[in-house]
Amino acid sequence: MNRNLINTGTYIPAHFNKMKKILMSLLLIAFVMSSGATAYRKCPPGNDFDKVVSYFSNLSLSVKKADNPSLYYEIFKWIGTGYRWGGSSKTGADCSGFVRTIYEGVYGKLFPGTSRSFFDNCREVPSDAIAEGDLVFFRINSSQITHVGIYLQYGKFAHASTSKGVIISDLSDPYFHKYFYKAARYDLLTVGLNEKEN
């Protein structure tokens, strides 16, 4: 019978090495699937994607250079959706409902609660280190977080505005610059721990 000698001087069957390789491959696949790192990066085919590229190009954003083009595709499908407090569908959505639905659809991750609890489920990042997919939080006429959006590129972010519905805005806009609070990154270890807030 074919056997291999390992450092300890112990003989083991040759099929043990094959089993070890298979196990390591399965663990790697499981890690990639659970992280969502590559599962949601496919671009939609054909004319639909061309429309997405064109729309964001008019806003000086490059979908083709994006880390996750499907984020832009999903947001594009929501552009123009009206605002509805407590809503999370294309018949109407508020800021947290919009963010929650986009995150679940693009990243496959559940993001419970409201804009305030979102912040508790994230890790704060410096303003000069904000990256695509990070969340941007605002305190509008309040000492508490009242608004949230999804950062894209070059200071632009997607959000559900109370007056205009789902739109793309710029952090350098005087209004948003005034009320900007902090940016934060999704934390897989804590999401889902907070209860829904009123």
The reply to whether 74 and 147 lie within a common domain is yes
Strand order in the sheet with 135-138: 122-125, 180-186, 135-138, 147-151, 156-161, 165-170
Residue 147 a catalytic site member: yes
Token representation of residue 53 = 């590229």
pLDDT in tens, 127-180: 899 999 999 999 999 999 999 999 999 999 999 999 999 999 999 999 999 999
Residue 159 a catalytic site member: yes
CATH number at residue 137: 3.90.1720.10
Q: Which of 15, 43, 159, 177 is catalytic?
A: 159
Q: Which of 15, 43, 122, 147 is catalytic?
A: 147
Residue 15 a catalytic site member: no
Identify whether 135 is part of a domain. Answer: yes
pLDDT in tens, 84-127: 999 999 999 999 999 999 999 998 877 778 888 889 888 999 98
The reply to whether 16 and 72 lie within a common domain is no
The type of residue at 54 is S
